[in-house]
Each structure stands twice: as structure tokens, then as C-alpha cells.
């Protein structure tokens, strides 16, 4: 089977996890939805291509290995907003904030509030992936994805828009019997996320993840089971 070898590496990475309120938490491994969005962005697709996005996500089969854990940091962000503030959007439509009892009157008598949020990032992290499509002959093919990653239609980012890759995402195209066999050798202890389709070992840690997006409704839902394996050099 043919696989793409991808390397996700940059000063900051943000593999989104289950977010609650204003805390933008992240996960250790990239989600199926993140990879779908990354590939779709390279292909030049839009969010309105919901059927195509759903189908691409359903065809993805991947294993992800953390080669360098990096350092987890939290960015604290604030914005002072007035009740009548309006914002510009990429849709070309002016967007205003809804009225809220949280607004208070400042020294000038205008109603305002301080909006707070926290965003986690992994600094100086490196993740290697083996990825294939099932079925492989249906468009977009693996060759289509490889061509798009070499010459992406738009700039690529790894989770959030500030998270730009520090190197080309596509490393190679290889043939192997499975995802684990497709990954290049590792020279230090590492953790690997594997789908249930890969052969299991007794010490694998089974996890339930909600990493698939319903691209028609725009929300994540459901669960799939993955396994995390610790491996040594070689």
C-alpha cells in the first residue's frame, strides 16, 4: 500500500482538543478533522465543500508519532470591547456583539467589558505521520494530495493560523504493508497513535477520541477508538 509521510513541525503547533468555554485546549496528537482541513486547504477547497470534506475525512487512515514532545505553553489573551463595537469579517459583512449584562460603564460612561481567553500551544514539537486513503483510487488520490502539499493553493497552518510549519509538510511517498511499517525508524523513545485497524500489542493504551468533524453541521461528534503505543529506538 502507498502512504504519504508527513512531518508537522513548527515553532508553535495546536492540535485542537475538546474545548470548553474560553479555554482553547489542545491534544497530543493531530485529529482526523485537522488533517482533513490541512489537506483540503492545500487542495484549495472551501468550507462550503461539505460533502467532499466529509468523504475525505472518512477515507483517511493514519498513524501519528511524536518525535519531539516540545513544551506546552498557554497564551493569555484579552480585548477591551465596547457594547457598540463592530468587527470586520472575511465574508464582507459587519459583525456586532450581542447585548450582555456583563457590560459595565467605564469612566467615559460607555458600556464595555474585557473579553478573556486562554489558548494552549505546543512549542518546538515534531510529529511524523503515515497516511493513506481507503479506497485509494477514488479522487482525490494520494498523488493529488502529494501534488497539493508540494504546491498548496493557500498557506498551510498546523491547527491555528499563527501555527505555520517550519518545513515542507510532505516528506515522502512510500510503499509498506501498513501504517506502522510505513513510518521511518525512530532514534529515541516515542509515542505513536494508531487506529484500531493496526495489529495490537498487549501494552497498547486504548483511548476513545472525538476527533472527527461533521462538516455539514460544523461540529464534532461521535467517537472512535485509537491506541497509543510507546516505542524505542529502531
pLDDT, greater one: 165 or 82: 165
Instruction: Kindly report the pTM of this predicted structure.
Output: 0.85
pLDDT for residue 43 is more than 60: yes
- Which pLDDT band holds residue 110 (cuts at 50, 70, 90)? confident
- Report the pLDDT value the prediction gives residue 46, as an integer from 0 to 100: 94
The whole-number pLDDT of residue 145 equals: 98
Find the mean pLDDT for residues 143-158.
97
pLDDT at residue 35, rounded to an integer? 97
Contact 229, 201 (CB under 8 A): yes
Candidates 124, 122, 123, 104; CA nearest to 112 is 104
Residue 21: which pLDDT band, with cuts at 50, 70 and 90?
A: low
Multiple choice CATH, 2-72+122-231, 3.40.30.10, 3.30.70.2660, 3.40.50.300, 3.40.50.150: 3.30.70.2660
All three cell numbers of 123, joined, read 512549542
- Contacting residues for 143 by C-beta, under 8 A, at least 6 apart: none
* pLDDT surpassing 60 at residue 90: no
User: Region 161-165: what's the mean pLDDT?
Assistant: 94
pLDDT of residue 24: 66
Helix (H) or strand (E) holding 12: strand 2-13
Q: What are the domain boundaries of the chain?
A: 2-72+122-231, 75-117
Q: What percent of the chain has pLDDT over 90?
A: 69
Burial 138-173 (b: 16+ CB within 10 A, else e): eebebeebbebbeebeeebbbbbeebebeeebbbee
Q: What share of the chain is helix, strand, coil (3-state, %, to 5)?
A: 15, 40, 45
Amino acid at each position: 500500500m502507498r502512504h504519504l509521510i508527513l512531518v508537522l513541525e513548527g515553532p508553535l503547533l495546536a492540535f485542537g482538543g475538546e474545548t470548553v468555554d474560553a479555554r482553547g485546549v489542545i491534544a497530543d496528537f493531530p485529529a482526523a478533522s485537522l488533517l482533513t482541513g490541512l489537506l483540503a486547504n492545500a487542495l484549495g477547497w472551501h468550507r462550503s465543500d461539505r460533502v467532499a470534506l466529509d468523504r475525505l475525512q472518512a477515507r483517511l487512515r493514519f498513524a501519528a508519532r511524536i518525535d519531539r514532545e516540545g513544551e506546552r505553553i498557554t497564551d493569555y489573551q484579552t480585548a477591551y470591547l465596547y457594547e457598540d463595537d463592530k468587527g470586520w469579517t472575511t465574508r464582507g459583512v459587519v459583525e456586532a456583539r450581542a447585548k450582555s449584562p456583563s457590560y459595565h460603564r467605564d469612566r467615559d460612561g460607555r458600556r464595555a467589558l474585557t473579553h478573556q481567553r486562554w489558548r494552549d500551544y505546543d512549542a518546538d514539537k515534531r510529529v511524523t505521520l503515515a497516511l493513506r486513503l481507503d479506497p485509494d483510487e477514488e479522487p482525490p488520490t494520494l498523488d493529488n494530495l502529494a501534488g497539493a502539499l508540494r504546491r498548496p493553493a493557500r498557506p498551510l497552518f498546523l491547527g491555528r493560523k499563527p501555527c505555520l510549519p517550519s518545513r515542507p509538510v510532505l516528506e515522502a511517498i512510500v510503499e509498506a504493508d501498513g501504517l506502522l511499517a510505513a513510518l521511518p525508524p525512530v532514534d529515541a523513545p516515542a509515542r505513536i497513535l494508531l487506529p484500531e485497524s493496526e495489529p495490537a500489542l498487549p501494552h497498547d493504551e486504548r483511548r476513545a477520541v472525538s476527533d472527527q468533524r461533521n462538516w455539514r453541521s460544523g461540529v464534532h461528534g461521535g467517537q472512535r477508538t485509537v491506541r497509543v503505543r510507546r516505542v524505542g529506538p529502531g
